[in-house]
Amino acid sequence: MTPEIRSAWRERWRGRYSAAVGGVCLSFLLTGVGVIPGCAKNPAGGQPRPPPARAAAPVSVATVVEEDVPVEIRTIGTVEAYAAVTVKPQVSGQILEVHFTEGRDVAPGDLLFTIDPRPFQADLRKAEANLAKDTALAKDAELEAARNADLFNQGQAAQREYEKSRAAADALQASVQADAAAVENAGLQLEYCSIRSPIIGVTGRLLADRGNIVKANETVLLMINRVSPIYVALDVPEQHLASINRYRSEGELKVHVTIAGDDGSSEAGLLSFVNNEVDSTTGTIGLRATFANQDRRLWPGQFVNVVLTLTTQPGTVVVPSQAIQTGQSGPYAFVVKDDLTAESRPVMVGFTREGQTVVEKGLLPGERVVTDGHLRVVPGGKVEVKEAASSGDKAGS
């Protein structure tokens, strides 16, 4: 190819390349110019578009109420028998009869066991015979002493004879008294062969059946528990002791217990005992309440939920517990205003009872607070009330 032709081709390709590059640059420029105004201004060419409005947060609310609230101590208690007796024999021997049925009521004096009385009957007869013999000897000795006394007074008997007869009579009289005591003791031992209930109560399991040989004051035959009335023992932290003593001095303190798994109503009783010392190992004080237990719902050894009511606070502001939230600055609640906007209100809370929280400061009766849907609520933002209830609704509507 000649130099002239090569130069002509070079100029031709250089022109085509310049045109292509220029077209691409113009296209990018036009595109950029079109995009930037579109992002900065609305289609009408006016001011920037406002951000979209936040949707109202759906919430459930409850009304703050004012009511009388009891001040309570809640704990776990143990039911104890009002009286418990361990029945043991007072004499040794063989059990001849068992006169009761396990788990049945008994009254004071009811016959429970009979121990073979024959050895004790023989002892009683022997003691009675000794008493009769010594009584006769003592009578004769007394007559002899009286005769010697007359003779001594008449000067017909020596003083030694009189003193000897008097001593013999006194010795036999003492023997009579000892024999009488032996008869009484033998009769008592015979009486112990019939074992009777010392209290009213319910019999437990039979621990020694008919035919067993029992030993005095050692063999356990039976347990009897009195269950009506009945005690409930409980321990509370020692910091409550001052309040318990103060309110107890003003009147009787009521105690209510409920049984786990029992859908019935609670049992009501009264605080009857405060221990005379604090347990230093646990930091608790022992208490005991008394219950009539007429229907025998409470049973010894049972665990129960205990509520000790100290006093009642009138005019207390309460809300459902789920209305109270905890933030970095402490507890707060969302208050729904009349214009359906939410206000974050710091509160001072007291104790909680049955799903209700006492508010000591921060809320007023009649105000509405959010109980559900807190995560979507912002201070000052709109809310949509989907459900409303009073603060007395423990379900926290």
Predicted local confidence at residue 157, as pLDDT: 66
Looking at residues 169-174, what average pLDDT do you find?
Answer: 87
Predicted local confidence at residue 24, as pLDDT: 41
Q: What percent of the chain has pLDDT over 90?
A: 64
Measured distance CA(240)–CA(24) in Å, rounded: 87
Predicted local confidence at residue 40, as pLDDT: 45
Predicted local confidence at residue 144, as pLDDT: 76
The answer, yes or no, to whether residue 152 has pLDDT greater than 90, is no
User: pTM value?
Assistant: 0.69
Predicted local confidence at residue 29, as pLDDT: 36
Calculate the dihedral angle through the C-alpha atoms of 86, 88, 90, 92, rounding to the nearest 10 degrees.
-170
Q: What percent of the chain has pLDDT over 70?
A: 82
Looking at residues 166-180, what average pLDDT do you find?
Answer: 88
Band (pLDDT 50/70/90 cuts) for residue 7 is: low
Predicted local confidence at residue 30, as pLDDT: 39
Radius of gyration, alpha carbons of the chain: 50
Predicted local confidence at residue 46, as pLDDT: 56
- H or E segment and range at residue 389: strand 383-390
Look at residues 311, 310, 308 and name the one whose alpha carbon lies nearest to residue 255: 308
Predicted local confidence at residue 26, as pLDDT: 38
Better-scored residue on pLDDT, 265 or 283 = 283
User: In the structure, how many helices (H) and strands (E) does the chain have?
Assistant: 4, 20
Looking at residues 392-397, what average pLDDT do you find?
Answer: 43
Measured distance CA(287)–CA(269) in Å, rounded: 13
How high does pLDDT run on average in the chain?
Answer: 85
3-class secondary-structure state, position 92: coil
Measured distance CA(359)–CA(348) in Å, rounded: 6
CA separation, residue 209 to residues 99, 118, 166, 189 (Å): 11, 19, 56, 21
Band (pLDDT 50/70/90 cuts) for residue 350 is: confident
CB 163 within 8 A of CB 149: no
Band (pLDDT 50/70/90 cuts) for residue 202 is: very high
Predicted local confidence at residue 313, as pLDDT: 86
Place of tokens 């002493």: 145
One DSSP character per residue, 326-353 reads EETTEEEEEEE-TTSBEEEEE-EEEEEE
pLDDT in tens, 17-33: 444 444 444 343 334 44
Asked which of 14-23, 97-106, 158-167 is least confident by mean pLDDT, the reply is 14-23
Better-scored residue on pLDDT, 155 or 31 = 155
Looking at residues 272-290, what average pLDDT do you find?
Answer: 96
pLDDT in tens, 223-271: 999 999 999 999 999 999 999 999 999 999 999 999 987 777 889 999 9
pLDDT in tens, 115-138: 999 999 999 999 999 999 989 988
Band (pLDDT 50/70/90 cuts) for residue 15 is: low
Predicted local confidence at residue 160, as pLDDT: 72
Predicted local confidence at residue 36, as pLDDT: 42
Looking at residues 339-351, what average pLDDT do you find?
Answer: 92
Predicted local confidence at residue 351, as pLDDT: 84
Measured distance CA(244)–CA(296) in Å, rounded: 28
Predicted local confidence at residue 13, as pLDDT: 45
3-class secondary-structure state, position 142: helix
